[in-house]
A and B are shown apart, each in its own frame.
Chain A
Amino acid sequence: MLTVEGLNAWYGEAQVLRDVDLAVAEGEIVTLVGRNGAGKTTLLRCVMGLHERCTGRIGLRGDTAFGTRPAHRRARLGVGYVPDDRGIYATLSVEENLLLPPVVGPDPWSLPRVYETFPVLRERRRFAGTQLSGGEQQMLALARVLRSGARLLLCDEPTEGLSPLLVEQIGEILREIKAAGVTVLLIEQNLHFATTVADRHHLLAEGRIVESLDNGAVRAREHELLAYLGI
């Protein structure tokens, strides 16, 4: 689905990604874990076409020129982005936030389906997007890319700051869309949660992928990894 080869990225003089290789197969959920500043968010922004200072090859489903296309073209090829700040518009209502992205995939969620899954969004559909609570905004950001029918989701810490109940609900949704064949590249600091939804995990440190782990390895080394991540 997604292949990243030899990706380097800079902020000014500082190199924040060094020769990153990454492949995500269709229907897989893969996480990126690492300390703050390890380059996780930059990696997603490079894939989305939002970080200009990067070199390397990014391909999507055999489209080797994917990494040279402008951001809106990449989205239209079926990529959905949930940014780290949730990206909810204050000047758009909740419903407009849902309807803004064009449909980009063969199997988009309908508005009734979104509202059935997230009843709170139906109740508040006429509210300004930023009048929702943090957790509700997180739901809205996820619902927005589901409604567009994106086949590859780039999710930057969708569970950050959520109550355990909401984290569990996001987990259910991720398992549901995985069953429908959607691919997810997920930044996640909650290791326990990560092992319940994802197939594989990549540990980033100082801009490099230093280790790739499966669920068994993460569970076995949970204490060591948590200590390393400083959580």
Chain B
Amino acid sequence: MAEAEAKRVASDERAAFDWLGALRDAGFLGLLTLGLSFPIIAFRTRQDLWQGLVLDPRWELVTVLVAIAFTARFCWLVFGNRLAGGVQSLAERVGSTLSPLKSYTATFRLVGLAWLIAYPFLAVLFAGPGGALKWIDNFGIQILIYVMLGWGLNIVVGLAGLLDLGYVAFYAVGAYSTALLSTYFGFSFWLCLPLAGIFAALWGILLGFPVLRLRGDYLAIVTLAFGEIIRLVLINWVELTNGAAGISGIPRPTFFGLPFNASDEGFAAFFGLQFTPLHRLFFLFYLILLLALLTNWVTIRLRRLPIGRAWEALREDEIACRSLGIDTVTTKLTAFSIGAMFGGIAGAFFAARLGFISPKSFEFMESAVILSIVVLGGMGSQIGVAIAAVVMIGGTEMLRELVWLKAIFGAGFDPTQYRMLLFGMAMVAMMVWRPRGLISKREPSIVLHEKRAIGGELVKEGQG
């Protein structure tokens, strides 16, 4: 009955569709495209032999673009409503399948963990020892680093609601302290790992102090500047950091003193195994998995402690916090320093994994990627951040797999060039259909009768 009603309404809508209006609207967009492309696309500029400016007109390209804009707009007006509804319901369905997953947390966690532990073996099984290198290194380890960074930043942005655009600075501090301590003083990786965390935490406090009174845009700008300052110091303090050339020869992590090499003292020889570079990758994979899980465990634990609740309360309403006698200074500083600490530990791992670091790895783009992982995942949601990291970093790596597209678009086509475009499109799509991130629900930190997730519309994002 209701269905028939809906069908009748839909057919009425179709009958009443304003074709002329749609044509006019699409025509207007076509004209707009023409106007826009005239100064940008219509002419290619080059210099001739006499240094004079030559304009090569490209009217075919402009015509194609205008045609695309016109057709796309027209199709959108005709079919768009249904398409948008479809995507909306799809997004909702994805969201609602993810939410129950959260309520079966125990099972989900166990299956996820089992899969993660089995992952390197599965990679070897399916891709062979040679092919597995890529899957463990580029996908497994790379994604897990970003998961850990995302979780670290989640403390600052997701829980405490402090917008930090310079998080990569702490990653850099961790990486450079490991590199410098090990190359100058010969500290082992295992000593550098906690030290890097401590140094990064100290830098977190150092950044925290001047920005305590800042909120929102101002906080974002200062943290952004902080990230850039660290990078510029690393580039320009050549005597210490070797400048833009970076530091190489950072000792690789060892397995309780056993290096991963083909020598007689190596890991393979000690355990009587055939030497293969896979050993090191397996080790690195499990190490970063362990570090990421540690980050997760600590965060989940802290969320249920007074300090974690104070962070969330700070995100909800700073003035109310102060009226309840909560010391907002220490609350903010602990959030900054603990978030920074995990960034620093991830940095130490990063330095030891590659054996080489340079300021190039710590550009603003990295901060932006980590922040978008947190925002896309759903601020404050641990599992959401992990999923976002898999999608974003895994997706970027997947682009490299699309070389077969060269057969269609010609040899000059490089799919990785479209990374930022896809990134932006994913962002826009998210903002339209799931503005609070993949998982926007908040789980209460303490329960009296029955655990119920809190809808994202009530949870605030913080102003600082």
Same complex origin of A and B? no
